[in-house]
Amino acid sequence: MTENAHPILIGSDHAGYEMKEFIKQYLSQKNIPFEEAGTAQYDETDDYPLVAFKLAQKISSGEFQRGILLCGTGIGASIAANRVKGVRAALCSTPETARMSRLHNNSNVLVLGGRVTSREMVPQIINAWLEASFEGGRHQRRIEMLDSSGNIATH
Ligand code: RB5
């Protein structure tokens, strides 16, 4: 199965809920498979760390290869997701940063801000992210450093 044939896991808190629903429609139109990690209904008491950890753990375990995660700004969700080992969550606001997050960082979670990311740009950001592939090489060494906590000499 190619990378893009795997379902994308998508999740948000309440502040990302509307954009999450918009993205689900977009993915459906494009026949891009996805699964829902929540929140399934708008609920103002949602806490972004919970959905971020839930989604990130399913990426970390290998159950899903890629996720799209949202909160209001994308900041809290990315902070939370990046605490889970093996997760490289990239908060991207343009197609170019989304593309570079794949090429150089092998990002496995795309993070968007439901209240701040331009809705018009969201399809382009997602396309750029899905179409780009990790370049490996020197970037492989660097992403390995991310998971080797405490073992890297500082200059
Ligand atoms: C929720 O009000 C908001 O704080 C949250 O969605 C997110 O933007 C946090 O970083």
Measured in Å, residue 139 CA sits from the centre of ligand 1 at 31
* Position 3 in a domain: no
How many structural domains does the chain have?
Answer: 1
Q: Is 79 in the pocket of ligand 1 (CB under 6 A)?
A: no
The verdict on residue 101 lying in a domain is yes
What number of other Cβ atoms are within 10 A of residue 136's Cβ? 11
Atom of ligand 1 lying closest to residue 14 CA: 6
Q: Of 6, 14, 92, 104, which residue is the catalytic one?
A: 104
Domain ranges, residue 114 = 8-147
Q: Which residue has the tokens 């629903």?
A: 21
Say if 152 falls within a structural domain: no
Q: Is the pLDDT of residue 155 over 60?
A: no
In the chain, the percentage of residues whose pLDDT exceeds 70 is: 93
pLDDT at 149: 66
Q: Is the pLDDT of residue 154 over 70?
A: no
pLDDT band at 148 (very low <50, low <70, confident <90, very high): confident
Residue 136, by phi and psi: left (phi above 0), alpha (psi -120 to 50) or beta? Answer: left
What pLDDT score was predicted for residue 109?
98
pLDDT over threshold 70, residue 27: yes
User: How much is the pTM?
Assistant: 0.94
- Does the active-site annotation cover 92? no
155 part of the active site = no
CA dist., res. 16 & res. 41, Å (int): 11
Q: What does the pLDDT look like over 68-117, one tens digit per residue?
A: 999 999 999 999 999 999 999 999 999 999 999 999 999 999 999 999 99
For residue 137, report the distance from its CA to the centre of ligand 1, in Å.
36
Residue in 6, 14, 71, 139 annotated catalytic:
71
Please report, rounded to a whole number, the percentage of residues in the chain having pLDDT higher than 90.
86
CATH of residue 131: 3.40.1400.10
CA quadruple 55, 96, 17, 4: dihedral, nearest 10: -50
Of residues 85, 70, 78, the one with CA closest to residue 101: 78
* 143 within a domain of the structure (yes/no): yes
pLDDT tens track for 58-71: 999 999 999 999 99
